[in-house]
Structure 1
Amino acid sequence: MPKPSHLIRASTLALVLLSSACAVAADAPLWEFGAGVGLLSIPDYRGSDQRQTYALPIPYLVYRGEFLKIDRDKVRGVFYQDAHTEWDISLAASVPVKSDDNRARRDMPDLDPTVEIGPQWSYKHRRSWGDITLRLPLRKVLAVDFPNVRDVGTVFTPTLAIDRDNHPWPGWHASMSTGPIFGDKDYFAYYYKVDSRYGTANRPAWDAKSGYGGWQLTLTLAKRFKKIWVGGFLRADHFGGASFEDSPLVRQQTSWTGGVGVSWIFLESAQRVPMSR
């Protein structure tokens, strides 16, 4: 049974991931609030052959302010925006891993949950059938074990996304995003380094280096039914050619993450704002 603190962290991760599937209207309330439930299945870490499945509460929060925006793309603070480009803040998160519950990491230190934060530049090209967006986020990665927070590296994840409304069925929003992952030595060492003191016959010592960290493909689908929102996502990570590919902690070359959720929106502001995608 997952600990309550793990469920809170998993809920935060699910909110970040499932929010990428959230659909919005052309004219909408300034803010909306609700609650729901979700199911999240996620590997212990990218490349692990073990996973955790969480059934958990998911808050539904949308805010469409001039600078702070929480919507289907992400939680972001917008610093600059014009017809095609945008500067904002990018966020990501990961769940904790208890090493004694993972065969590859047994007797090694636990993996604390991480929070990733940093600037992001985006360029959006609007077409009649949907939007094509290039996103270039550079994030600092922080491992969190309250009250301690420590820097565990930097990650760069350029992404090309295609968003379509009313696809594949009327009222639905579909999105596909894909791109490589690059990280520095500290980032990859946090997940894949094996110190000599933790080396075994089946897990030799291994040191990390910076560079290419694999490729991601994410598919999302969502729909808003008046006061009910439903959505889901599926993400594939492939590690062929990654700088950590030969780490003994990498047990498979492809990892899968998926989740579904449903929320009831029970509060919204009377003020309405124009909505641009």
Structure 2
Amino acid sequence: MNDAHHLRAWLALTSALAAALAALPVRAESDQGGPRRPLWELGVGAAAVQLPDYVGADVSHHYRLPLPFFVYRGQWLRADREGARAVLIDTPDWALNLSAHASAPVRNHDNPARLGMADLPATLELGPKLSASVWKAADGSARLDASLPLRAVIGLKRGAPVLGTVLTPTLNLDLPRWSSGWNLGLQVGPKWGSQRLHGHFYGVSAVDATASRPTYTARSGYAGWQAVAAVSQRFDRTWVGAFVRHERLEGAAFADSPLVRQRQAVSAGVAVVWVLARSDEEARSDD
């Protein structure tokens, strides 16, 4: 694997872990403005994550990797446990952001189902996300939010086109004082994808067909559902987090693809971060 491929893989994996750990933002603030933290923080960490090659694959890989840590709590640009995003509208009850997500590459010589096919590049997802508050406990001990992200999926390789679009509405239950200082977040929701995106992951062309892998044309539509649980705790200059994600493909538009070897997938990861530097200036914090 060349240096550029190593870099793309590392960036995608760190983004995938950070996004999974951040998928469930724990909002501990009150309606009066919430706690204040440094405007920016910079640190380093270590992470371990187990990821399937793609949802439906029967091959997973375990990765250990360094984890860069950067938080910026600006008014219009933010980078925190909800991911990097541009804040277009932010009110106590709803928000509109431009958000990003990423996925890891797949090297097909490590995956028997895709043996002989082209590698799948790491991807970057960009698009708007509308979030709304559904319910809040009066004492701030729980919060239920709904979010509607619609993102374009871009392959991270030279000359890669837009691979399609994905829609992932979710419900997020946040319990910021769950147990002994630990925050707990629970997320669940379905997924839909475009025909081009499903074809990228699950289609089989005539060139790639074999006796055990017939040609297959994927359709757009329902892409299964996922549920995520995440825990985290902040100890002044140390942050600890972990997540587990379960995905199922029953009823998915591409469930009968020969590249779908199983109809469920489990991902998990843990991370520890040490904050090395932070600003004197403070800003309202959602984490």
2:148, 2:51 → 1: CA distance? 24
2:68, 2:91 → 1: CA distance? 30
Task: Specify the alignment match of 1:4 in structure 2.
Answer: 6
Aligned match for 2:86, one of 77, 93, 98: 77
Equivalent position amino acid for 1:142 in 2: I
Aligned match for 2:188, one of 160, 167, 178: 178
Q: CA deviation at 1:184?
A: 0.8
Deviation string for 1:75-128 (max 9, x for gaps)? 211101112011101211111111121100001111011100101111013223
2:58, 2:282 → 1: CA distance? 47
User: Residues 16, 223 of structure 1: CA spacing in aligned structure 2 closer, same or farther, 3 A cutoff?
Assistant: same
Task: Specify the alignment match of 1:152 in structure 2.
Answer: 163
Contact 1:34 1:265 in 2 (8 A): yes
2:164, 2:218 → 1: CA distance? 12
Q: CA deviation at 1:17?
A: 2.2
Per the alignment, in what secondary structure is the counterpart of residue 149 of structure 1? coil
TM superposition outliers: structure 1 runs of 4+ over 3 Å = 1-4, 19-25
Contact 1:21 1:233 in 2 (8 A): no
Equivalent position amino acid for 2:175 in 1: R
Q: CA deviation at 1:149?
A: 3.0
Contact 1:21 1:222 in 2 (8 A): no
Task: Specify the alignment match of 2:203 in structure 1.
Answer: 193
2:286, 2:70 → 1: CA distance? 18
2:154, 2:192 → 1: CA distance? 16
Contact 1:15 1:59 in 2 (8 A): no
Task: Specify the alignment match of 2:21 in structure 1.
Answer: 18
Calculate percent identity across the aligned residue pairs.
35
Task: Specify the alignment match of 2:217 in structure 1.
Answer: 207
2:235, 2:27 → 1: CA distance? 11
Equivalent position amino acid for 1:72 in 2: R
| TM-score where L is the length of structure 1 | 0.94
User: Residues 119, 24 of structure 1: CA spacing in aligned structure 2 closer, same or farther, 3 A cutoff?
Assistant: closer
Task: Between 156-165 and 90-99, report the one with greater CA deviation.
Answer: 90-99
| TM-score where L is the length of structure 2 | 0.91
Per the alignment, in what secondary structure is the counterpart of residue 211 of structure 2? coil
Q: Which runs of 5+ in 2 are unaligned?
A: 29-34
2:90, 2:14 → 1: CA distance? 30
Contact 1:22 1:71 in 2 (8 A): no
Equivalent position amino acid for 1:203 in 2: R
Contact 2:41 2:72 in 1 (8 A): yes
Matches within 5 A, 1:1-277: 4-5=6-7, 6-20=9-23, 26-124=35-133, 125-128=135-138, 129-145=141-157, 147-167=158-178, 169-276=179-286
Counting matched residue pairs gives 275
Q: CA deviation at 1:207?
A: 0.4
